[in-house]
Structure 1
């Protein structure tokens, strides 16, 4: 009994130490690496919005499933030299508040519309979605086509493929959520993060690396909930469809990855991915598809120069009236 008591005390002390370590480290991060943008109320929660650069149209970056916008900051910096560019964190990601209730695709588009209106992001938009962010981008286009003047899809998910492939993946993913949240709150993820990041993170400038570490070291309720709730809370009739020609003659660039392996595309998607990307290129009569031959699925993170160059091309065409 005495031995069991000491083990219990030891485990309790370790847990308490981890919790205290995480709490103190978060307060230090808040001073050293504050959110670059601002928190905008969109109802019963706030979303983080960061805009930089002058000019029009505004480029809007949409990060992938369960991914905070900090992963696209290197790309955002490059684009900001030529035009205004905004990124945002969906509910429960990055610096944004979690949503009080599970949120489907419609709710995520509602959030985005309110964020743009209350955040002062008006005028025409060039949408730049990555991975699962493409599902939200196409749903937003359906809602407000008059606002979208061009798109650059960065290995964007084709909506029907995204929803069709999810039943096998997301229920299991939800089971991991308590482990993720416990790992964050006890400081475990903070401790192992420096040894688990991909090579593109190690190449970030020091200030962006600091922001990346700060964001990924704090609890993110949306890391799992963002895609899982979108799938579970979106009825079949509310799923967007990628229809040939739906973008009209708006300039569209589709970039798909050229290297196998790495994180991002589940195995069951891989055989269909090239055909799905080719189909996305058919959404506009003025489109181009590029293969990032040296990159895996996270193209914007591995090769921000490539993505920002394509964004500048689309922006220039919009500014010149094509």
Structure 2
């Protein structure tokens, strides 16, 4: 398999990885959950524009905001994929900010934010997201738009924060059962590049990633009747993985369908001209999805 194809598969399955958010149903999440880190909105939003470091639970978090706050309109918050940072989404943010207030941030271990002190769980990652929302949105509703691992984070977070999260856009989001999907698609008996892909991903799920995030599969829990747009890639690049590629593509598509259980107002579309980075390769599809969700969230 050409190195570029192999790298793309790793991005989708690793850097894209099973990200994190508040799974709620997992044992480690329950153990880490802080009942005092509630979702109660914190007064007014900080109207700053540009990039700045903010303090969240004693940690420095790099945040970027643009666009004007408007009465009745939600704040759009972008969540980058694993291995990326907010800079990757800069052009996407700039386009969206023409009509919306848009913010993005580097998670701990990513970009210019502090590194985590130790292993992170879905709950601790969710606490940082809550702190960021308190600062950039205050008591305003938010729409979370996440790519890859960021999509998983958003989807796991929303069910526990229904009074704040009023819409979701999941751009080729990591499936909720990605670890199980990979072990089924690529058996332990696999050899060569497929075996390497399997081993690397399973290690990443166990916390061997820049964010030190220990990731576990989980069921999809409902997030109310919020509008949800799920967008999957149309270019079947995962199929290029020797022997097991078609299985990976099927598992990824099935995983995207699972996210529809988030809401009775969910819909799945395909970005026919895009690989994994939909907001880069087919930005119009991503922009239009965010605009549709924000419009519905205003009602």
Structure 2 length-normalised TM: 0.68
CA RMSD of superposed structures (Å): 2.9
In structure 2, the residue matched to 1:168 is 199
In structure 2, the residue matched to 1:230 is 213
- Displacement over 3 Å in runs of 4+: 118-122, 162-168, 170-174, 265-269
Any conservation in 1 of the 2:151–2:169 contact (CA below 8 Å)?
no
Report 1:1-322 matches (<5 A): 36-54=50-68, 55=70, 56-119=73-136, 121-162=138-179, 165=182, 168-170=199-201, 224-226=209-211, 229-231=212-214, 240-243=218-221, 246-261=222-237, 267=245, 269-319=248-298, 321=299
Any conservation in 2 of the 1:155–1:255 contact (CA below 8 Å)?
yes
Gaps of 5+ in 1: 1-34, 175-221
User: 1:310: Cα distance to partner?
Assistant: 1.3
Structure number with the higher helix fraction is 1
After alignment, is 65-74 or 273-282 more displaced? 273-282
CA distance in 2 between partners of 1:281 and 1:153 (Å): 10
Any conservation in 2 of the 1:150–1:318 contact (CA below 8 Å)?
yes
CA distance in 1 between partners of 2:238 and 2:208 (Å): 19
Any conservation in 2 of the 1:67–1:223 contact (CA below 8 Å)?
no
Are residues 279 and 43 of structure 1, via their aligned partners in 2, closer, same or farther at CA, if it must alter by over 3 Å? Answer: closer
Any conservation in 1 of the 2:238–2:249 contact (CA below 8 Å)?
no
After alignment, is 135-144 or 66-75 more displaced? 135-144
Any idea what the Cα deviations from partners look like across 1:37-74, whole Å, max 9, x if unmatched?
Answer: 11111134211111111222011111111211111111
User: 1:240: Cα distance to partner?
Assistant: 4.4
Gaps of 5+ in 2: 1-48, 184-197
CA distance in 1 between partners of 2:236 and 2:218 (Å): 28
Any conservation in 1 of the 2:103–2:136 contact (CA below 8 Å)?
no
Larger Rg computed on CA atoms: 1
SS in 2 for 1:224: coil
Any idea what the Cα deviations from partners look like across 1:227-280, whole Å, max 9, x if unmatched?
Answer: xx322xx5x6xx54214xx133211111100002279x9956322111221222
Aligned residues: 230
User: 1:118: Cα distance to partner?
Assistant: 3.9
Are residues 99 and 44 of structure 1, via their aligned partners in 2, closer, same or farther at CA, if it must alter by over 3 Å? Answer: farther
CA distance in 1 between partners of 2:261 and 2:139 (Å): 28
Are residues 284 and 158 of structure 1, via their aligned partners in 2, closer, same or farther at CA, if it must alter by over 3 Å? Answer: same
